[in-house]
Amino acid sequence: MGANDVVLLEDMVERSRRETEGFNAAEQEAYFVSWHYLSKYRPSHDDVLSGIVDGTRDGGVDSIHLFANGYYLRDGVNVGALGRNPQLDLVLIQVKNTRGFGEGAVDKLIVHLPKLLDFARDEQALARQFNPRIIEITRRFLDTYRAMDMPRLRISVAFAALKAEQIHANVELKAQQLEETLKTCFGNCEPAVHLLDAASIANLAREKPPVTAELTLAENPISTDMSGGYVGLVKLYDYQKFITDETGKLDASLFDANVRDYDSESGVNKSIQETLSTQDRDVDFWWLNNGVTIVADRVQPAGKLLHLDSPQIVNGLQTSHEIYKQGSSREYPEDRGVLVKVIQADDDLVKDRIIRATNSQTILGLSSLRATDRVQREIEEYLRIKGLYYERRKNYYYNRQIPLKDLVSIDQMGQAVLSTLVQAPHVSRGEISRIFQDEIYNVVFGGFNPMAAYYSSISIVRACERFLRENRNTQGQVDDYVFHLSMAATIAITRKREPSARDLASIDEVPSHELLAELMELVKQAFAITARETREILFDKLAKDPRATRAVGNQMGRYLASSRRRPDTASMR
């Protein structure tokens, strides 16, 4: 069946290529394998794309991904919020469109990983051997691991050969050597090296993430007169099982939220911690806790079991995290429980009302709560007219086979507006997690910007991204340049140093390649000026520095003063 598996996998990859138009063949293959290999973590398409490092000086790695307690880390995070003994996962993937594995591919990582995963590493020396994306993501891993409180560490390495029918024994021996190498880097880590032939990759691609779950109640639930509403008590150990996946980690797919929404040091969470840890015979946990609200597309009761389709925990994030944390270190007594509301709601408008109502008391900027904002719905409706699908909720349209080129996530829109209108490309590049914080969110999605400004912002950023990808000199540094170039392009098109939202809304064209080539030289000059001032040689650090943004602004001020003509543009799609 090996030959047939290769043919079937080729068909799968080809279909995926049509969804990932705009990326080169190697990036498309890295995306395909990474998406399916990481499926147990339920990442977004933004997450997977952010980890692709394939290209020159990639060190034999095509993608690198970092997870904390099941959540994807794309920038820095307050690791104190993760509590004691958090789970940290580092995943490295290499993909080759070949008929087999070479021992040399494994040998490369045996040599390179000790250099990249060394706390005492010299990044300037590494910059001569590895590309900026590899250095940046491995730095994020080291910084996160070092700041954690006694983390549990898993390092997984996957080698995928798209046309391989079997694995050679010598390569399996090399894989064992790589596991031993990882143990020398981190003695407490749990290493795993997976060799994936065509059949293994095809099986991963066939697997569908479970969309159903069972919740065990202490007694038969109380149901309401309206169909699909249930209230019941769930024993803490049964709730612990419900929110934990098969690997023992918190199931992030149950929370349409972000790890940064949880803060273990808040007064509320300390109170929950104390209540959970106190063995009080006179007071049950649920007497002192507001409980949890779960929304599901369909709820089917069966005695003390509730079968849930596509469940989401929309209220009770803090309670769930605390139950998981304490339940991971000890067993809960049989007589303690948590109150759970389960609501059947397969209509998005109804879900939005429930999410907003049940979170009305929270001070947290939940992404699930933001998704219900009127402005988010308006952006979604406006972009559909323009042929784009706006994902207010993670992977909503992607799971319906909409191509990546037609998708716009909230993160992407936030980055686009921050760079074009707010003129903070360094924030777009380095602090994606801040988009949902009030001071950023209220500026970007305040509801007072014309809808056309959002379309212009994303169109300009994507035009700049295409230009950088097609330019041989910049295709390996798209992330570092795209937001600063977008800021420059917006200034050039509007002929204003600080264009308003109305100025952006009036744009009906995107910058031409000729204009972007001219502006790219100015952006490079701005980076060079910043590098001389800061003595920094790593481009990702320069791109995250506000001084680089100011330098671009200064360059564009001189550009406007010296250029009186209307810049070349091309019609928007």
Are 403 and 344 contained in the same domain? Answer: no
Containing structural domain, residue 275: 212-368
- In one-letter notation, the amino acid at residue 155 is I
The owner of tokens 């690997």 is 247
Are 398 and 350 contained in the same domain? Answer: no
Are 409 and 486 contained in the same domain? Answer: yes
Are 162 and 298 contained in the same domain? Answer: no
Are 59 and 185 contained in the same domain? Answer: yes
pLDDT value of position 106: 93
Are 260 and 320 contained in the same domain? Answer: yes
Are 109 and 224 contained in the same domain? Answer: no
Strand 292-296 vs strand 312-315: parallel, antiparallel, or unpaired?
antiparallel
Residues 335 and 524: their CA atoms lie apart, in Å, by 65
Higher pLDDT, 328 or 212: 212
Are 130 and 241 contained in the same domain? Answer: no
pLDDT value of position 20: 87
Model confidence at 402: pLDDT above 50: yes
Residues 222 and 273: their CA atoms lie apart, in Å, by 28
pLDDT value of position 298: 86
pLDDT band at residue 259 using 50, 70 and 90 as cut-offs: very low
Residues 549 and 526: their CA atoms lie apart, in Å, by 8
pLDDT band at residue 566 using 50, 70 and 90 as cut-offs: low
Phi–psi pair at 280, nearest 5 degrees? -95, 110
pLDDT band at residue 553 using 50, 70 and 90 as cut-offs: very high
pLDDT value of position 569: 64
Model confidence at 462: pLDDT above 60: yes
Q: Which residues pair with 158 in a beta bridge?
A: 93, 194
Contacts of 514 (CB under 8 A, 6+ apart): 568
Chain-centre distance for alpha carbon 512? 30
Are 159 and 21 contained in the same domain? Answer: yes
Range with lowest mean pLDDT among 65-69, 143-147, 416-420, 438-442: 438-442
Chain-centre distance for alpha carbon 361? 27
pLDDT value of position 48: 94
pLDDT band at residue 364 using 50, 70 and 90 as cut-offs: very low
Phi–psi pair at 65, nearest 5 degrees? -140, 145
Are 133 and 116 contained in the same domain? Answer: yes
Residues 90 and 138: their CA atoms lie apart, in Å, by 9
Model confidence at 360: pLDDT above 70: no
Range with lowest mean pLDDT among 89-93, 347-351, 455-459: 347-351
Question: Taking the C-alpha atoms of 388, 393, 395 and 401 in order, what is their torsion angle to the nearest 10 degrees?
Answer: -50
- Final residue belonging to a domain, choices 180, 206, 232: 206
pLDDT value of position 209: 63
Are 20 and 131 contained in the same domain? Answer: yes
Question: Taking the C-alpha atoms of 377, 378, 381 and 387 in order, what is their torsion angle to the nearest 10 degrees?
Answer: -110
Are 122 and 258 contained in the same domain? Answer: no
For 503-509, the CB contacts below 8 A with 24+ separation are 504/420, 504/421, 504/450, 504/452, 504/453, 504/456, 504/457, 505/449, 505/450, 505/451, 505/452, 505/453, 505/456, 506/452, 507/452, 507/456, 507/460, 507/572, 508/571, 508/572, 509/569, 509/570, 509/571, 509/572
Average pLDDT, whole number, for the chain? 86
Q: Taking the CB of residue 139, how many other CB atoms lie within 10 A of it?
A: 17
3-state helix, strand, coil in the chain (%, to 5): 50, 15, 35
Q: What is the pLDDT of residues 103-125, one digit of tens each?
A: 888 999 999 999 999 999 999 99
Calculate what percentage of the chain has a pLDDT beyond 90: 50
Answer whether 87's CB lies under 8 Å from 61's CB.
no
pLDDT value of position 238: 92
How many domains does the chain fold into?
3
Q: What is the mean pLDDT of residues 304-313?
A: 88
pLDDT value of position 456: 97
Q: Could you write out the DSSP letters of every residue in 502-514?
A: HHHHT--EEE-HH
- Final residue belonging to a domain, choices 206, 240, 260: 206
pLDDT value of position 260: 41
Answer whether 386's CB lies under 8 Å from 452's CB.
no
Q: What is the pLDDT of residues 48-81, one digit of tens each?
A: 999 999 888 899 999 999 998 888 898 876 776 6
pLDDT value of position 362: 42
Contacts of 365 (CB under 8 A, 6+ apart): 261, 436, 437, 438, 441
- Final residue belonging to a domain, choices 368, 399, 419: 368
pLDDT value of position 361: 45
Q: What is the pLDDT of residues 439-451, one digit of tens each?
A: 888 889 987 899 9
Answer whether 351's CB lies under 8 Å from 295's CB.
yes
Of these ranges, 189-193, 302-306, 430-434, 568-572, the one predicted with the greatest mean pLDDT is 189-193
Of these ranges, 175-179, 303-307, 369-373, the one predicted with the greatest mean pLDDT is 175-179
Q: Taking the CB of residue 388, how many other CB atoms lie within 10 A of it?
A: 23
